[in-house]
Chain A
């Protein structure tokens, strides 16, 4: 009797095992068209990504709109079927532009919220505090919202990618404009720093362009610290530039500090030519700061008229541009409380790039496949005035800008063609000969 039972039990086990094997095989063969939880933060129906943003604090004016704008674009994509049927969940935490908060919040996003990737984490000093950690944990660190050229370091930071033209590229093109138009004037600098890559990278780029051109350049820059205490010291820094006879101030500053610098100069009856990095020059943001009383009293928006800057995205005020109309219509539906300004355009354009990357990473993306997708896709379309530079040896995004000037009412006018260059001291600056791409009619990157 006993051997009989034992034998039948063996049969039963074998039968169950065989069925299980068949089932597994069936699942395996169908997995090419079924969504799986292929990576941390990815389920069959969602992809969760994270970010740290200055929603409050000294860098908040303007920049606090970037993540909500990106989220509006994701909502638009989610409402139109998502990416491979997955909806994008975007979790962004307020680090107040404080690197110490950035480190603890990045841990929260990676360890607790288990995000698939970091996206558009904002700020040079803040993100430098976590870039080593993200790379050691192999978390994709896509499209850092900062132009530090430190993000383009594929050997040390294989997971990290920049997006906007880095500050050295931007500085070189700004510097060339100064050489061509203000050669007889004394040039000085107003920078975030000292020892802040935002300020030093831009300073380096401008100096590369001014080198050997015989300009009268004040070699010691004026610095500010992006804190409440630092805001109090800007007036003195501007007064010292005035005392040294500076006629052109090159400013690599966040919007609040650009506004304080321009208002301080006006208060001193000092009217230098301001040449301001893109990140600190958005006219709607600056006029909101000036007219809103953030500097202690309401000031006229016209203070910033004449400021020279640059752009790498379509002009905000170009109502005929298809990117502008796309983003404006998404903003109207999904984030109607946001203003239409450079930060909102930035947030949405960067979100578009993320969706491009997520699509290219395949139906069941992994952390490795999305990094490979950004490096290997060589997209020719995108919201920038130039194509992306991404490759396995280059983690820079856009590599060119177009000079612009701010009018009395905050309007923007382009000055000359789109120009591209690299971040080496001798790399030539050339006019971009390609044409800008238009967005797909659906507004969502095609496969």
Chain B
């Protein structure tokens, strides 16, 4: 039974993972670690959605930051109107609105290929952050909307911090997202996604509706971005256009490429690097006693170097590079044994 059903096996693994993560946040991590872990979980949810779209279905998106923005503003605008609405409702509403936005982008995207799709999604990432300035009465303009911090339920005790509570919510949302996605990409839907990615003509001959599959991938991916965006709003406590620049979209793409394209574990690894690299390099830069003009830019330079080195040393991403070590885990979590989506990427590091 256990061996037979992927669903049950995944269920048990993810349940165990949830318990471990929640215990870590409450008994091991300090408040600042919890705060950063929350960010890792949020970015990982969004990056996992992007992994499904780009790594598994082969569609590029440079606009996932904009999709997160739709989720964040859904939550923030609703909370501005009705501050007492429960968090779970906000998450669902954000998933819904962003899913619909994803369907619209997906319908357009199903007609576009390669650089044209990249261009269209890029336009989304550039244009959407301008919208709040033009409809300032609804979206609060450049200054944005304030979002209340979720307070932990009283039964968790007086010492249970807001940071812990938000980490619990984000980690729980993350585990559920990865559970759903891991099952999805291992099942018939995932096979259709990969078929469309690898050869559209063959997929069509096999009876797969290519456009519909691509739109479905976009909707699923956008729903993840919407969930992440909603959590992001609670995490930042203020939703303004500055949080959703093109930089965020590119960072998400960077995360899945560094982590390992097409691997859900890679999305987590990439998000972890995205959050912790600046934390570590910032401390390093200030310990060097450089002039401020240099020190201010050191974290950015180190980030660039890590990016280049990671891609040279691990062409299949860090998760792919450690595939042999992680094989046991990756077999459970997702189809990372497959070669990456980019047909030009070599199987092993060259040289």
**Stretch in B30-38, B47-55, B180-188, B335-343 touching the partner:** B30-38
Residues of B within 8 A of A107 (CB): 32, 35
Residues of A within 8 A of B242 (CB): 98-100, 125, 227
Q: How many residues of A contact B (CB 8 A)?
A: 35
- Across the interface, do B291 and A100 meet the contact criterion of CB distance under 8 Å? no
Residues of B within 8 A of A194 (CB): 133, 136, 141-142
- Across the interface, do A195 and B143 meet the contact criterion of CB distance under 8 Å? yes
Residues of B within 8 A of A112 (CB): 30, 32
Residues of B within 8 A of A128 (CB): 143, 146, 238
A90 to chain B, nearest CB (A): 12
One digit per residue, 1 when the CB lies within 8 angstroms of any chain B CB and 0 when it does not, for chain A 49-65 equals 00000011000000010
Is B270 at the interface (CB under 8 A from chain A)? no
Q: How many residues of B contact A (CB 8 A)?
A: 29
Q: Given A94-B296, A100-B242, A225-B133: A193 and B236 within 8 A (CB)?
A: no
Residues of B within 8 A of A111 (CB): 30-32, 35, 163
A97 to chain B, nearest CB (A): 8
Q: Given A94-B296, A111-B35: A129 and B238 within 8 A (CB)?
A: yes
Cα A355 to Cα B292 with chains together (Å): 24
- Across the interface, do A125 and B240 meet the contact criterion of CB distance under 8 Å? yes
Is B140 at the interface (CB under 8 A from chain A)? yes
With CB as the reference atom, state the residue of chain B lying closest to A91. B286
Is A156 at the interface (CB under 8 A from chain B)? no
Is B190 at the interface (CB under 8 A from chain A)? no
With CB as the reference atom, state the residue of chain B lying closest to A67. B292
* Chain B interface helix/strand/loop/mixed: helix
Is B243 at the interface (CB under 8 A from chain A)? yes
Cα A56 to Cα B293 with chains together (Å): 9
Residues of B within 8 A of A226 (CB): 142
Question: Contact check: which of A55, A100, A136, A337 meets B243 at CB < 8 Å?
Answer: A100
**Which residues of chain B from 205 to 247 have any CB-CB distance to chain A below 8 Å in the complex?**
236-238, 240, 242-243
Is A11 at the interface (CB under 8 A from chain B)? no
One digit per residue, 1 when the CB lies within 8 angstroms of any chain B CB and 0 when it does not, for chain A 80-104 equals 0000000000000110001110011
- Across the interface, do B240 and A104 meet the contact criterion of CB distance under 8 Å? no
Residues of A within 8 A of B31 (CB): 111
Residues of B within 8 A of A103 (CB): 236-238
Interface residue ranges, B against A (CB under 8 Å) = 30-32, 35, 39, 130, 133, 136-137, 140-144, 146, 149, 163, 236-238, 240, 242-243, 279, 282, 291-292, 296-297
Q: What 10 A-B pairs have minimum CB-CB distances, sorted nearest first?
A: A195-B141, A100-B243, A111-B32, A129-B238, A195-B136, A112-B32, A111-B31, A125-B143, A194-B136, A98-B242
